[in-house]
Amino acid sequence: MPLRSAKARWEGSLREGKGTVALGSGAFEGSYSFESRFEEGSGTNPEELLAAAHAGCFAMALSAALERAGFAPERVEAQARARLERIGEGFKITRIDLTARARVPGIDEARFAEVAEQAKNNCPLSQALQAVEITLDAALER
């Protein structure tokens, strides 16, 4: 299996500094700052990047789980929201809320919910993030 990488550079103090993150593939490079992480400033932040990775991983995991269960998904859309909260003198990601909407012919709501929960538990990023509560709101589109 390939090894994936990304890099970050930070210059300056926490509040006045600035940084950049870049994916090893070259598919994305962006800036981040104190404002983009802890306020409403422009740029990205580690939590947003983590949420994007988790949403992408879960969408693929759900599609694969549906196929293994004998269904042919037409579309899976996933969103992840990472909650960053101040805990004591530091910060912690306390919860990740996954939302999934899918179009899957021939499956009922109960079976879909079961497969989606399995996908959440088996998604490699969900497994890596086991220290964080991960919720799931999954529904079929008709």
- Domain coordinates in residue numbering, the chain: 6-38, 46-140
Rounded (5°) CA angle 78-20-83: 40
Full-model pTM: 0.94
CATH architecture of 46-140: 2-Layer Sandwich (3.30)
Distance CA 35, CA 42 (A): 7
Q: What is the pLDDT of residues 21-35, one digit of tens each?
A: 999 999 999 999 999
Per-residue pLDDT tens for 33-62?
999 999 999 999 999 999 999 999 999 999
Average pLDDT of the chain to the nearest whole number: 96
